[in-house]
Structure 1
């Protein structure tokens, strides 16, 4: 079921590029404006969502994590600050432009020893099984060609008892807020992007990327189907976003 939706979106826009190539070009193009546009278009809610997520993760000093689709590294940096000098965080993204912005922020924060940034494919992680305490992905799962494969890779690289965490845009379910939200997301958001960032086509991708992505309950079922336990889903800001958490089975239990 879920893979059919992904496959149906593999071809995108008039250039008929595969989804992966198209999304890569989008993020390369908007990298320099990404942070400020996040603040404007989410009304800074993304910062509150990430703070809530960090609280639910309950990360400890010395913990390790891989942050997929890390972009400009806001979440990567939050985890590094929490895990401290004895921890280590790897940020992975396929966009070198986004990583370049992230590198500047990591250097400015004096976190080069705690954070390693890698250009790579979230569907084929270059890391061994059972390595990390956490595998996270923030606002990137809906952009990959096969989100089930990404979640399976996240599960593979976390240790038994480790946590798979997804913070992503979602779909409000109650009216009239649902109608107002989709009007904003589909009509006003690209126009605001054109006004503030001189980007229109790139930000049209956001509502399109959400259209075929599963809702909160459906994504919870995907977590369970790939074998994650104790799955929890939290709607954020009336369902605009959602946090999903699953635990890899601890073989010692």
Structure 2
């Protein structure tokens, strides 16, 4: 997976916009609004990619750290960070390379943890959630934006077919390899879906779990509070 994301990093922003019909950044801004951030909140953005959610959270005065396992993603995020500094923007997120399966942060050190398209791509969802619970303060908030896996078989088949065809086309055009983005429909197929993730969060230390359908339910925003 690390090699894959290193390959697609320079096209990552384009792909997220293309697959979302241009709505990706609006969804991430909504995630930041739903976080109900306050000035000085400690926010960790997992699988931060090139930093969209981290920058959106920083606009609320939060102290944000973006973490991604792919060095090239962090290099691109830091390039945006440098550009923001030249424009006099403040506060500005900082970015670090790290694995969300073994977070390099102390217990109960974050007020809010966010992730966009992160939970769907971890090796073991339960272990990733346990790490998030460890790092969040009691009462801290988790917000996760991701693809949904529709419950209805017909809708699910059509949705996965769309992701497969569009992904193959973009893979060929951008990388001359139609299999480059095959991981997207494959990961959605394995994903427990919006309500499955909500049940897992509830079982592993979260209360007040909300499932917010986006884009007709093909995308989902989870909002949850760590049990005190």
Tell whether the structures are fold-level matches, with TM greater than 0.5. Answer: yes
What SS is found at the alignment partner of 1:26? helix
* 1:130–1:158 Cα contact (<8 Å) kept: yes
* 1:106–1:112 Cα contact (<8 Å) kept: no
- Please report the TM-score for the alignment, with normalisation by the length of structure 2: 0.91
Q: Alignment partner for residue 100 of structure 1, among 64, 75, 88?
A: 75
- Please report the TM-score for the alignment, with normalisation by the length of structure 1: 0.83
User: Partner of 1:77 in structure 2?
Assistant: 55
What SS is found at the alignment partner of 1:82? coil
User: Partner of 2:99 in structure 1?
Assistant: 121
Offset, 1:102: 0.7
Matched pairs, number: 225
Offset, 1:158: 1.3
User: Partner of 2:41 in structure 1?
Assistant: 63
- Which residues of 2 match residues 34-49 of structure 1 at below 5 A? 34-49=12-27
* 2:195 paired with 1:217: yes
Deviation digits for residues 200-253 of structure 1, max 9, x if unmatched?
Answer: 222111111111111111110100110111111111112211111111123xxx
Offset, 1:164: 1.3
In structure 1, how many angstroms separate the alpha carbons of the residues matched to 2:190 and 2:15? 23
RMSD: 1.8
Q: Alignment partner for residue 132 of structure 1, among 101, 104, 110?
A: 110
Offset, 1:48: 2.3
Q: Alignment partner for residue 3 of structure 2, among 9, 25, 29?
A: 25
User: Partner of 1:17 in structure 2?
Assistant: none
In structure 1, how many angstroms separate the alpha carbons of the residues matched to 2:37 and 2:90? 20
Offset, 1:171: 1.8
In structure 1, how many angstroms separate the alpha carbons of the residues matched to 2:167 and 2:151? 20
Aligned pair in 2 of structure 1 residues 41, 232: CA closer, same or farther (>3 Å)? same
Deviation digits for residues 141-179 of structure 1, max 9, x if unmatched?
Answer: 111111211111111111111101111111234586544
Deviation digits for residues 79-125 of structure 1, max 9, x if unmatched?
Answer: 11222xxx311111110011111110111112686422111110111
What SS is found at the alignment partner of 2:76? helix
Offset, 1:53: 1.6
In structure 2, how many angstroms separate the alpha carbons of the residues matched to 1:117 and 1:147? 23
User: Partner of 2:210 in structure 1?
Assistant: 232
* 1:37–1:197 Cα contact (<8 Å) kept: no
Structure 1 runs of 4+ aligned residues shifted over 6 Å read none
Unmatched 5+ residue regions in structure 2? none
